[in-house]
Structure 1
Amino acid sequence: MKRILLLGAGGQLGQDLQEVFLTDLGYEVVPVGREELDMERPEMVGHFLKQQSFDVLINCSSYHRTDECEDYPLKSFTVNSIAVAELAKACNRQGRLLFHVSTDYVFSGQKDEPYLEADATGALNIYGISKAAGEQAVAAYHDKYFIFRVSSLFGKAGASGKGGNFVETMIRIAQEGKPISVVADQIMSPTHTLDIARAMKAFLDQDVQAYGTYHCCSTGSCSWYEFAVEILRQAGIPAEVSPVPAANYVTKAKRPAYSVLNNEKLQAVFKMPKWKTALTEYLTRKEYLR
């Protein structure tokens, strides 16, 4: 039996990971909460992991409130970079496999075709810069790792600290009968966290040893506006959605205009579904579709 330590167990991805591994007796998932390991105290990471018996560490924890990160850069780098470096060092010392979750926001958005794993990063905001630094730390201090870059997540548990994910927000606003305006010039790949959890399990089931960085996102891409329209269409909620430019929304953190990830490398291990198919499964799980 493989014993998995799971950081960030309470989030969308963390909860879906627990669900995916729950019925497989070949794995034991041990959720690790902030009260046990506070990533804002990276000096505690090595000591904590030294006391644990585990085969795999999955790090889903991060400080991911993108605009807030602009105001708290020290916290961003402490959680997303420095503590991650300590995770990598500890896993290296103990010879343990590390899965680390990163983001499409490590890229600048200046390309007009999907980003490859080998493309140079060029984040536009503190969150993305701190996550890119975390990736570099993992690669510098450990050899036995998988970095999964993910994109525009939606999961059954909702986004912790963000008041629910984008899907839930669109449905709530539409049900309240309020006008909906959504950015139409930022392009990404909406991804169901359950599919990421399945991909991680596939890597473990197949004992993949081609370590490195993988883009783990739904197949295909759309704008946030197109995503909103499809959410409401599938959910059968009549609403008028207006496309607007990102320039209409002034935010502290800049967002990439194009952050689509090429997932062909990962597809050799696990087939990620098209984003519309992933959305249908999510809406079914949430009982919007019957």
Structure 2
Amino acid sequence: MISVLLLGANGQLGTDVQEVLSNSTHYQVQAVSRNELDMELTSEVSSYLNKQNFDVLINCTSYHKTDECEDNPLKTYLINSVSVAELAKFCYANDKLLFHISTDYVFSGRSNVFYTEEDATRPVNVYGISKAAGEQAIEAYHDRFFILRVSSLFGKAGASGKGGNFVETMIRLAREGKPLKVVSDQYMSPTHTLDIAKAIKSFLDKDVREYGIYHCSGDGSCSWYEFTIEIFRQLNLNVNLTAVSSSEFVTKAKRPANSVLSNEKISKIHQMPLWPDALREYLTRKEYL
């Protein structure tokens, strides 16, 4: 049996990782919440890990409130970069396999094609910069790791501190009968957190040794407006929906115009579903369908 230490277990992704691995007799999962390990307290990371018995560390923690990160750069770097370096150092010194969740926001968004793992990272906001630094720390301090870059998450548990997720927000606003305006010039790959959890299990089940960075997102691409149209189409909701430019929505943090990820590399190990299919599975799990 493989012992897994799961950090950020109560979050949107962590909840699904815990469920998927716990359903298998091959894995024993120790779920760790922020109350047990606060990644902002970087000096406590190594001492906490030293008291645990595990084979694999899965880090689902992140300070991901993109606009708040602009106002709290120190907190952002402590959680997303400095503590991640501590994880990598510990795992290297103790020969532990490390899974770390990163983001499509490590890219600038200036590309017109899907981003691959070989493309240079050029983040445009504090959150993206901190996540890129976290990736670099792992690559500098460890040699047995998988960094999974994910995009535009939606999961059954909802995003902590964000009041659910984009899908839930759109459904709630639609049911309130409000006219909606959604950005149509920012493109990404919507991703069901359950599918990331399944991918992690595939890596473990297959004992993959080709370590490094993998993109792990819903297959395909869309704008936030197109994503919203598909949500309402699958739910058969008639909503007053208008496409608008991102210039009409001023946010503190700049967002990449295109952060679509290519799944070609990960597909040799695990096939990520098309994002509309993933959305349907999510809506079914949430009993909307």
Q: TM-score range by the shorter chain?
A: over 0.9
Query: Which residue does 1:232 correspond to in 2?
Result: 232
Distance of 2:94 and 2:51 partners within structure 1: 11
Shift of 1:118: 1.1
Query: Which residue does 2:55 correspond to in 1?
Result: 55
Query: Which residue does 1:69 correspond to in 2?
Result: 69
TM-score with structure 2 length normalisation? 0.99
Shift of 1:237: 1.5
Query: Which residue does 1:176 correspond to in 2?
Result: 176
Query: Which residue does 2:165 correspond to in 1?
Result: 165
Distance of 2:42 and 2:92 partners within structure 1: 16
Cα contact 2:192–2:282 (8 A) shared by 1? yes
CA-to-partner distance for each residue in 1:16-71, whole Å, 9 max, x for gaps?
Answer: 01111122111011111122211011111111111110000000001000000000
Distance of 2:279 and 2:33 partners within structure 1: 29
Structure 2, unmatched stretches of 5+, are none
Task: Determine helix, strand or coil for the equivalent of 2:157.
Answer: coil
1:1-290 to structure 2, matched below 5 A, reads 1-289=1-289
Please list every run of at least 4 consecutive aligned residues from structure 1 whose deviation after the TM superposition is greater than 6 angstroms. none
Distance of 1:100 and 1:22 partners within structure 2: 19
Task: Determine helix, strand or coil for the equivalent of 2:265.
Answer: helix
Structure 1, unmatched stretches of 5+, are none
Distance of 1:41 and 1:174 partners within structure 2: 40
Amino acid at match of 2:107: F
Amino acid at match of 1:267: S
CA-to-partner distance for each residue in 1:197-256, whole Å, 9 max, x for gaps?
Answer: 000000000000000000000110000000001001101221121000000001000000
Distance of 2:192 and 2:74 partners within structure 1: 30
CA-to-partner distance for each residue in 1:124-152, whole Å, 9 max, x for gaps?
Answer: 00000000000000000000000000000
TM-score with structure 1 length normalisation? 0.99
Task: Determine helix, strand or coil for the equivalent of 1:264.
Answer: coil
Cα contact 2:178–2:240 (8 A) shared by 1? no
Distance of 1:18 and 1:134 partners within structure 2: 23
Identical positions, percent: 64
63-72 vs 31-40, which moves further: 31-40
Distance of 2:95 and 2:158 partners within structure 1: 34
Distance of 2:34 and 2:231 partners within structure 1: 33
CA-to-partner distance for each residue in 1:241-276, whole Å, 9 max, x for gaps?
Answer: 100000000100000000001110001100000000
Distance of 1:22 and 1:31 partners within structure 2: 10
Distance of 1:280 and 1:36 partners within structure 2: 35
Task: Determine helix, strand or coil for the equivalent of 1:204.
Answer: helix
Amino acid at match of 1:165: N
Cα contact 2:179–2:241 (8 A) shared by 1? yes
Shift of 1:100: 0.3
